[in-house]
Chains A and B, each alone.
Chain A
Amino acid sequence: MVNPSLLQEFYRESEEQALEDIRYLQTDMGLMAKIRETFADDWETVELTRAIIFDETQLIQSLTEEIENAREARKKLS
């Protein structure tokens, strides 16, 4: 049987990690938007940055869900 406080700690850490990742992705999306704007005449760059931003928004969404699930699990344990 796993110690509940250990599990809580695990969920807390995964929450923190996911939040860190979200922050990193948001900053990277900002950078991609800047590149897209700077090279607006270069369609390949525009398309590539668009694709990266799209992937990053999807990732942020799934990380947000991950945090919500971890919080829910932590609540059940307490």
Chain B
Amino acid sequence: MPEKQEKNLAEYAGDDRIISSHEMSLKLKESPDSIIRVKSFIPSLDQVIEDFRDGELIVISGPTKNGKTLLAQTLTVNFVRQQYFPLWFSYEVPARQFLYQFPELPLIYLPAKLKAHAMPWIEDRIQESFLKFHTRIIFMDHLHFLFDLARNPSIEIGQVIRRLKTLAVNDGFIIFLLCHTTKGKGDDNLSYESIRDSSFVSQESDSVLMIKRTPDVAENAARLRVEFHRRTGVLEKVIELVKVNGLLQERTPKEERTRKDWE
């Protein structure tokens, strides 16, 4: 190594310099555990994940027309109730349809015009929204609009997911990413392995939430499965949901009783 470079490195004092675990521990104690903590207002989910926190990449998956967007919209409304106004990238559903699907229009942010397959553009919009409106929660519907499928999808997905995770950790965002599954509607054994290109998605994400409608239970019922949650260590926790007034909520024994009375 040239002497000058050696000297520079030996005296290096940048933000990313090497420090000891003790120094790191002191640094961490000075800053709060998390910048934000938001509840889903789905009691069993909040219990198992101990709220959503900044730095997390959460994947929402399930078969088509089984409630992925509805779950994301429910979370959106419940975050807005806590005065956290999310930024939305809704590629799957056109803006008009997406906004009018909410029972009551919540205050959220979204790009005036969408660009698909453009990660640098998405990163710029996320930063723009943060600087203008301090948005810390981001929803992306869905993963396959974030990269060019014509290229090598496996490599592209890996890169996209890693970039999103880095963004979440470095800048304190909570990112919700919606993904499709490879399997058909009739498959009852859905797990995170059913997610298209699952290995990349599940390796980098902090939690995978799978949702599937359960018409056998009730017309508007759905089953949410927390496949895993890295921070809390929860595995395969099942939560029964029901659609009420256009949004999902946990199915309580009271609703169960009402349903039985009806039948």
> Which A residues are within 8 Å of any B CB, using their own CB?
26-27, 29-31, 33-34, 37, 40, 50, 53-54, 57, 60
Contact A40 B132 (CB under 8 A): no
User: In the assembled complex, how far is the CB of residue A30 from the closest CB belonging to chain B, in whole angstroms?
Assistant: 4
Of the candidates A37, A40, A50, A60, which one forms a contact with B107 in the assembled complex, judged by CB atoms under 8 Å apart? A60
Interface residues of B in 78-134 (CB under 8 A from A): 83-85, 107, 132-134
In angstroms, Cα B84 to Cα A67, docked, is: 25
Contact B132 A53 (CB under 8 A): no
Contact B83 A26 (CB under 8 A): no
Give the nearest-CB partner of B36 in chain A.
Answer: A37
Contact B132 A54 (CB under 8 A): no
User: In the assembled complex, how far is the CB of residue B111 from the closest CB belonging to chain A, in whole angstroms?
Assistant: 15
Could you give 9 example pairs across A and B, Cβ below 8 Å? A26-B132, A27-B132, A27-B133, A31-B134, A33-B85, A34-B134, A53-B83, A57-B107, A60-B107
* B32 neighbours in A (Cβ, 8 Å): 40
In angstroms, Cα B133 to Cα A6, docked, is: 36
User: In the assembled complex, how far is the CB of residue B204 from the closest CB belonging to chain A, in whole angstroms?
Assistant: 26
Interface residues of B in 31-70 (CB under 8 A from A): 32, 35-36
Most buried by B among A26, A33, A34, A40: A33
Contact A30 B83 (CB under 8 A): no
Interface of A is mostly: helix
Contact A54 B83 (CB under 8 A): yes
* B83 neighbours in A (Cβ, 8 Å): 33, 50, 53-54, 57
* A31 neighbours in B (Cβ, 8 Å): 134
In angstroms, Cα B173 to Cα A37, docked, is: 13
User: In the assembled complex, how far is the CB of residue B192 from the closest CB belonging to chain A, in whole angstroms?
Assistant: 32
Of the candidates A30, A37, A57, which one forms a contact with B133 in the assembled complex, judged by CB atoms under 8 Å apart? A30
Contact A26 B134 (CB under 8 A): no
A37 and B85 contact, Cβ closer than 8 Å, known pairs A27-B132, A30-B133 = no
* B36 neighbours in A (Cβ, 8 Å): 37
In angstroms, Cα B135 to Cα A31, docked, is: 11
In angstroms, Cα B84 to Cα A32, docked, is: 11
A29 and B35 contact, Cβ closer than 8 Å, known pairs A54-B83, A57-B107 = no
* A40 neighbours in B (Cβ, 8 Å): 32
User: In the assembled complex, how far is the CB of residue A58 from the closest CB belonging to chain B, in whole angstroms?
Assistant: 10
7 closest A-B pairs by CB: A30-B133, A30-B134, A33-B134, A34-B134, A53-B83, A57-B107, A26-B133
